[in-house]
Structure 1
Amino acid sequence: MKNLLASIILVCLFMSCQQQKIGFVDNVKLINDYQEKKDLENKLQIKINAFQKRTDSLRQAFQLEINEAELKARKMSQTDLQKLSQELQQKEQILSQRVQFEQQQITQESQSTNDSLIKKVKKFVQDYGKTNGYTYILGSNEAGSVMFGQDENDLTQTILDALNKSYKE
């Protein structure tokens, strides 16, 4: 009976002495330094620049139309002037709606891309943790979810390197 009790105590002590493997990553650095994110941002910036050029071009053309209308307005009757004013207001409204629609599309694309990128990084960190025997990998951010961690437990650069290597492949 004493041997059984001693064995149980020994097993309990052994289990309580096992350390859990815990690491942490700086979420902001991990996401911002991920090469795929940089590449996606560059592609999005190209779309934004093209959108801005189209918008500027449309606004310049509309401004020219307004300038021409102002010259014509001096010789128009009141009825024709009101009609011209309504046409210009409609064109301006259509232009504004078009610009707003394109802005919304770019915003939605950006949000969707960011969401899928974050999911991908989370999944990668989970797989990394399982593969490397971690019990926990915590996320550090500016809000302070990890207030302190020893440098040897900071997995940010290790995971970032593995993530970028995976992306290149």
Structure 2
Amino acid sequence: MKLNNTLLFVLALLALLLGIWNLIGKRDEIVYVDTAKLFQEYSEAVKVNQKLGEEAKKYEGNIDTLMQEIQGALKDYEKSGTKLDASGRARQERLITEKQADLQRYQSVVKEKLEKQRQQEFSGVVNTINGFLKEYGKRKGYRMILIANPSGTIAYAKDGTDITEDIIKELNSKK
């Protein structure tokens, strides 16, 4: 009977020690990812930025054309404005005002369209990153992966807690 109690006590003590060892030895870290760097170096984010930049350039050409039209109308008004009667000046002023309003409307529409396209394009990239971070965190045994952004959400982090480079390497290798 005493042998069974002693054996039971030793087994319970061993189980307790193994549990403590498991807690101490377990990698239960909190790490972070620098999103600015991630979006600059993750190949899919770079592709989306390039695509959006090319799209914006298309619209810039149209905006430049509209601005040149306004400048041309202003020059015409300056040259012939003194020679025109009141109705002629009013007509040219109205034309200039309409062109300026057209430019403002066009810029507003373009800005809205590009922002909507940006949100759509990046939602896929963000979903990919978030899914990967979840899987990566589980695989590495992290307690938490924080997101650091340019506005300074992490004031201090111990060396070795920035896993951005590893994330970028793994994401870029998945094609």
- Provide TM-score, normalisation by structure 2: 0.75
Q: Which of 149, 165, 173 is equivalent to 1:157? A: 165
Letter in 2 for 1:11: A
Aligned pairs for 1:115-126 (under 5 A) are 115-126=123-134
How far did 1:154 drift?
A: 5.1
Q: Which of 121, 128, 132 is equivalent to 1:113? A: 121
Q: Which moved more, 1:101-110 or 1:40-49?
A: 101-110
Q: 1:112 to 1:12 in 2, by over 3 A?
A: farther
Identity of aligned residues (%): 16
Q: Which of 26, 31, 44 is equivalent to 2:33? A: 26
Q: Which of 44, 47, 56 is equivalent to 1:48? A: 56
Higher relative contact order (CA 8 A, sep 6+): 1
Where in structure 1 do 4 or more consecutive aligned residues deviate above 6 Å? none
Q: Which moved more, 1:45-54 or 1:109-118?
A: 109-118
Higher Rg = 2
Partner SS for 2:109: helix
The reply to whether residue 15 of structure 1 matches residue 22 of structure 2 is no
CA RMSD of aligned residues (A): 2.7
Gaps of 5+ in 2: none
Aligned pairs for 1:1-169 (under 5 A) are 3-4=7-8, 6-18=10-22, 19-21=25-27, 22=29, 24-28=31-35, 29-130=37-138, 132-139=139-146, 141=148, 142-144=152-154, 147-149=157-159, 151=160, 155-166=163-174, 169=175
- Preserved contact between residue 42 and residue 172 of structure 2 (Cα < 8 Å): yes
How far did 1:110 drift?
A: 2.6
How far did 1:137 drift?
A: 4.5
Q: 1:137 to 1:33 in 2, by over 3 A?
A: farther
- Preserved contact between residue 31 and residue 145 of structure 2 (Cα < 8 Å): yes
Matched pairs, number: 164
